[in-house]
Amino acid sequence: MGLAAVLGVARHAGARPVGARVVVGAGIAENTVRQVVRTPRQVVYVFAPDDTAQRQNSGPGVIRAYRGSRPGVPTGFTEVDAAHHPASSGIHVLYAPDVRLDRRGIAHLVYVDQGDDRLYYQTFSTLTGRWGSRTALGGGAVANPGFYSTPTRVFRNWASYGLVLDAHDRPHVVYCSGDLVLSRVLAAHGWTKPHLIAKGRSPQHVQLASDRGGGVHATWLDDPLGSAAVMYARASAAGRWGLPQVVDSGSPNVLNDATDDQGPSIVVTRSGTPYVLYLRGTLDSAGKADSTAVVRYRSAGVWHDDSPPSAGYGITHSPQLYSRGNDLYVFLGHDAQIHWGYLIQHAGRPWSRYVVLDAATPMDGSSSVRWDPQRDARPGIIDAVHHAEDTGSGHSYLPQLYYQGVSP
């Protein structure tokens, strides 16, 4: 008997939820970073920024390490090592971390502290349940002025950095600094000097993926408040970056002026094909993004369209891409009815109908899905988190994070 049958869950074509929505705790999901990991012992961890105190003008934002209540499919979450979790200063916030778990059980994270505009690297041990110390990698008024402009509000969905592990579990970090896209690698002697990947106009929203051959793939959004372009570059297994390429550009091909809702997101399938997800559309008269999901893949040096039909979900904001083998999944931040859900394209077949994960409560937020096929401890479960950004009365926008598992 399958897990869905045991839990009494309705089956869907191609994939199905493996349990009800589970409350993780106070926190935010970010669609351009990966915040969920699963250990070889089948324990799920979620690393979530929480800006509750900042929004209540009572303290700084923090990052919480939430551990699942049991192996397999968790039924609840508890914060681990709260006494040492990362915290900003004053009433500043920490931007969402990008997280990968290595084969030893160490989670590697990068995030930005709004208090000093610096990019930090930090680890968390799933073996001891303890945070490590943090290391500054970039930014700051002295080291690199203009790393981030001073925010006028909380920057949810504005992560401009990414982390991925190579075949030897070495962290590779790509981040934006002013008009530059830079990379650094944690080698045996320490962090390498910043390497220039590209120069653009206010690049943002980096996401990384690795392939089975040892290459590292990066995508980002260039000139998000003007003529936006989705960009791509790849580093070989030897660490040499190729020239950046334009995946798509211009309005309405690429949604701009609404960077809270935009991607891009990237995966590399088992066959080695990179796929990039982003949003197409415009802003309506009220300034709200009217957008649909676009998927493109690279073959023989050319980018081809493979977008799911939008008829089943209307509009979407803040989606994220996932792959299993050569199958693709698009997890929407929400649909036109403000519900969380996903679409599937099995290799060589059309896209599936849209499947709503939870229709009980409208949730306007972003999604983040565990994806690291080279270290996947449980490929039979897709671990996904989603947040509702307005859970308080009077539009307080206090964050609330949820988890749900999906069976491929």
pLDDT at 5: 29
Length of the chain: 408
Q: Which two tokens stand for residue 327?
A: 């199958």
Q: What's the confidence (pLDDT) of residue 257?
A: 67
pLDDT tens digits in sequence order for the chain, 408 residues long: 233 322 223 334 456 777 788 999 999 999 999 999 999 999 999 999 999 998 888 999 999 999 999 999 999 999 999 999 999 999 999 999 999 999 999 999 999 998 888 899 999 999 999 999 999 998 764 445 445 544 444 567 778 899 999 999 999 999 998 889 999 999 999 999 999 999 998 888 999 999 999 999 999 999 877 789 999 999 999 999 999 999 999 988 998 766 778 889 999 999 999 999 999 987 776 667 788 999 999 999 999 999 999 878 888 888 999 999 999 999 998 888 888 889 999 999 999 999 988 777 777 888 999 999 999 988 899 999 998 876 655 567 888 899 999 988
Q: Token pair of 321, please?
A: 């891409």
Give the dihedral of Cα atoms 91, 82, 391, 76; nearest 10 deg. Answer: 170
Short-list 217, 194, 112, 200, CA closest to 158: 112
For every residue of 361-401, DSSP letters joined together read S---S-EEE---GGG-S-TT-EEEEEEES--STTS----EE
Q: Are 222 and 208 in contact (CB under 8 A)?
A: no
Please tell me the distance from the alpha carbon of residue 152 to that of residue 133, in angstroms, as a whole number: 29
What gap in Å lies between CA 403 and CA 43, rounded to an integer? 13
- Please tell me the predicted confidence (pLDDT) of residue 129: 97
pLDDT of residue 3: 30
Q: Give the Cα separation of 189 and 195 in Å (integer).
A: 16
79 in Cβ contact with 66 (< 8 Å): yes
Q: Which of 91, 102, 82, 100 is nearest to 25 (CA)?
A: 82
The string over 199-226, giving b where at least 16 C-beta atoms fall within 10 Å of a residue's C-beta and e elsewhere, is ebebbbbbbbbbbeeebbbbbbbbbbee
pLDDT in the model for residue 394: 57
Residue 223 confidence (pLDDT)? 84
Quote the CA–CA distance of 295 and 129 in Å, as a whole number. Answer: 38
Of 38, 100, 103, 105, the closest CA to residue 66 belongs to: 38
> According to the model, what pLDDT value does residue 6 have?
26
pLDDT at 151: 45
Q: Which domains does the chain have, with CATH numbers?
A: 3-407 (2.120.10.10)
Tell which residue, 255, 154, 235, 233, has the closest CA to residue 192.
235
Decide: residue 5, CB within 10 A, 0-12 exposed, 13-18 middle, 19+ buried.
exposed
